[in-house]
Structure 1
Amino acid sequence: MRPLPAALRRAGEPGQTARRGRDLARAGADGVRDVLHPLVTVGRGLVRLTTAGRAWWERTPAERRSPVLGLGGLALAAAYLLPYGPAVAVGAVLLAAAWQGRKPPPEPDCTGPGEEELARLQALYEALVPCFALPEDPAPEPLYAPDGSWERAFEEFAFTPESRIERLLLRYPPWFRDGEPEERHRVERLLRAKAGRGREYRFVWEEERNRLELSVPEPLPADLCAQRFVVAPGETVLGFTDTGAVRRTLPVADGAETRDVPPVVWRTGPRSTEPHLLALGNPGSGITTLLRSVVLQALPHGDVLVTDGGGAGEFASLAGRHGVLAVESSLTGALSALEWAAHETERRLLAAQHARQTGRPLPGDVRRPLWVVVDRPAVLSHLARAEGRPDPQELLEVPLRHGRAAGVTVVVADQFEGAEGLSQAVRAYTRARVVLGAASVEQVRAVLGETPHTTPAPDPPPGRGYARLGGGPVLRMQVPATPDPYDDAAGERQRQAVQALLPEHSGQVAPVG
Structure 2
Amino acid sequence: MSLTRHFTRGRDLARTAGDHAADMFAPLTLIARGLRRHAGWTRARWQATPRERRGPTLLLAVAGAVGVLLLPHGPLFAVLALVGSAAWKGRDPKAPPEPAPDPADVKLPALYAALTPYLAGPDDPCPPYRADGRYQDVFAGWSFDAEGRLATLEIGYPAYFTDTEPAARARIEQVVQGKAGRAREYRFDWDQECNRLQVTALAPLPQDVPAQTWVTAPGEIVLGFTDPQTVQRMIPVERPGGPGHQPPVIWRTGPRSAEPHLLALGGAGSGTSTLLRTIALQALAHGDLLVIDGAGTGEHACLVNRPGVHTVETSLHGALAALDWAAQETERRLAALNAARYRGEPAPADATRPLWLLLDHPTELSELAQAEGRPDPQDLLELPLRQGRAARVTVVLAESLEAADRLSPTVHATTRARVVLGAHRPQELHRALGVPVDLVPAAHTPPGRGFARIGNQAPGRLQVPATVDPLDDGAPARLREAVIALLPHRDTRTEAAAPPMPAHPPQQPAAEPQQPAGASRVELGKAR
Pairwise TM-score range, normalised by the shorter structure? 0.7 to 0.9
Q: CA deviation at 1:161?
A: 4.3
* Superposition pairs of residues 305-344 of structure 1, within 5 angstroms: 305-344=290-329
In structure 2, what is the equivalent of residue 391 of structure 1? 376
Q: CA deviation at 1:287?
A: 0.9
Matched, 1:419 2:404: yes
Matched, 1:250 2:250: no
Specify which of 135, 153, 160 is matched with residue 122 of structure 2.
135
For residues 28-79 of structure 1, give each alpha carbon's deviation from its aligned partner in whole angstroms, at most 9, with x where no partner exists. xxxxxxxxxxxxxxxxxxxxxxxxxxxxxxxxxxxxxxxxxxxxxxxxxxxx
Q: CA 1:220/1:408 → structure 2, altered by over 3 Å: closer, same or farther?
A: same
Tell me if the contact between 2:312 and 2:522 (Cα under 8 Å) persists in the aligned partners.
no
In structure 2, what is the equivalent of residue 117 of structure 1? 104
Q: CA 1:299/1:352 → structure 2, altered by over 3 Å: closer, same or farther?
A: same
User: What secondary structure sits across from 2:244 in the alignment?
Assistant: strand
In 2, Cα distance between the equivalents of 1:505 and 1:327?
17
User: What secondary structure sits across from 2:481 in the alignment?
Assistant: helix
For residues 2-34 of structure 1, give each alpha carbon's deviation from its aligned partner in whole angstroms, at most 9, with x where no partner exists. xxxxxxxxxxxxxxxxxxxxxxxxxxxxxxxxx
Q: CA deviation at 1:243?
A: 1.6
Letter in 1 for 2:236: P
* Superposition pairs of residues 453-464 of structure 1, within 5 angstroms: 453-464=438-449
Instruction: Pick which of 266-275 and 127-136 moved more.
Output: 127-136
Tell me if the contact between 1:117 and 1:163 (Cα under 8 Å) persists in the aligned partners.
no
In 1, Cα distance between the equivalents of 2:286 and 2:349?
12
In structure 2, what is the equivalent of residue 206 of structure 1? 191
Instruction: Work out the number of aligned pairs and report it.
Output: 401
Q: CA 1:188/1:406 → structure 2, altered by over 3 Å: closer, same or farther?
A: same
Tell me if the contact between 2:264 and 2:272 (Cα under 8 Å) persists in the aligned partners.
yes
Tell me if the contact between 2:309 and 2:522 (Cα under 8 Å) persists in the aligned partners.
no
Tell me if the contact between 2:208 and 2:465 (Cα under 8 Å) persists in the aligned partners.
yes
* Superposition pairs of residues 24-35 of structure 1, within 5 angstroms: none
In 1, Cα distance between the equivalents of 2:192 and 2:345?
53
In structure 2, what is the equivalent of residue 473 of structure 1? 458
Matched, 1:368 2:353: yes
Matched, 1:292 2:303: no
Larger Rg: 2
Letter in 1 for 2:305: G
* Superposition pairs of residues 443-454 of structure 1, within 5 angstroms: 443-454=428-439
Q: CA 1:399/1:244 → structure 2, altered by over 3 Å: closer, same or farther?
A: same
Q: CA deviation at 1:289?
A: 0.5
Q: CA deviation at 1:456?
A: 1.7
User: What secondary structure sits across from 2:340 in the alignment?
Assistant: helix
Tell me if the contact between 2:103 and 2:144 (Cα under 8 Å) persists in the aligned partners.
no
In structure 1, what is the equivalent of residue 217 of structure 2? 232
Letter in 2 for 1:126: A
Q: CA deviation at 1:419?
A: 2.3
In 2, Cα distance between the equivalents of 1:112 and 1:213?
30
In structure 2, what is the equivalent of residue 429 of structure 1? 414
User: What secondary structure sits across from 1:151 in the alignment?
Assistant: helix
Letter in 2 for 1:124: L
Instruction: Pick which of 439-448 and 330-339 moved more.
Output: 439-448
In structure 2, what is the equivalent of residue 355 of structure 1? 340
Letter in 1 for 2:257: S
Q: CA 1:349/1:169 → structure 2, altered by over 3 Å: closer, same or farther?
A: same
* Superposition pairs of residues 184-195 of structure 1, within 5 angstroms: 184-195=169-180
Q: CA deviation at 1:511?
A: 6.5
In structure 1, what is the equivalent of residue 392 of structure 2? 407
In 1, Cα distance between the equivalents of 2:344 and 2:165?
52
Matched, 1:217 2:202: yes
TM-score by length of 1: 0.74
Gaps (5+ residues) in structure 2? 1-97, 492-514
Query: Identity over the aligned pairs, expressed in percent?
Result: 53
Instruction: Pick which of 166-175 and 331-340 moved more.
Output: 166-175
In structure 1, what is the equivalent of residue 80 of structure 2? none
Q: CA 1:431/1:112 → structure 2, altered by over 3 Å: closer, same or farther?
A: farther
Q: CA deviation at 1:164?
A: 3.2
Matched, 1:486 2:471: yes
Letter in 1 for 2:390: A
In structure 2, what is the equivalent of residue 510 of structure 1? 521
User: What secondary structure sits across from 2:136 in the alignment?
Assistant: coil
Letter in 2 for 1:248: R
Q: CA 1:395/1:161 → structure 2, altered by over 3 Å: closer, same or farther?
A: same
In 1, Cα distance between the equivalents of 2:286 and 2:445?
32
Aligned CA-pair RMSD: 2.2
In 2, Cα distance between the equivalents of 1:490 and 1:400?
34
In 2, Cα distance between the equivalents of 1:131 and 1:357?
66
TM-score by length of 2: 0.72
Q: CA deviation at 1:383?
A: 1.5
Tell me if the contact between 1:373 and 1:411 (Cα under 8 Å) persists in the aligned partners.
yes
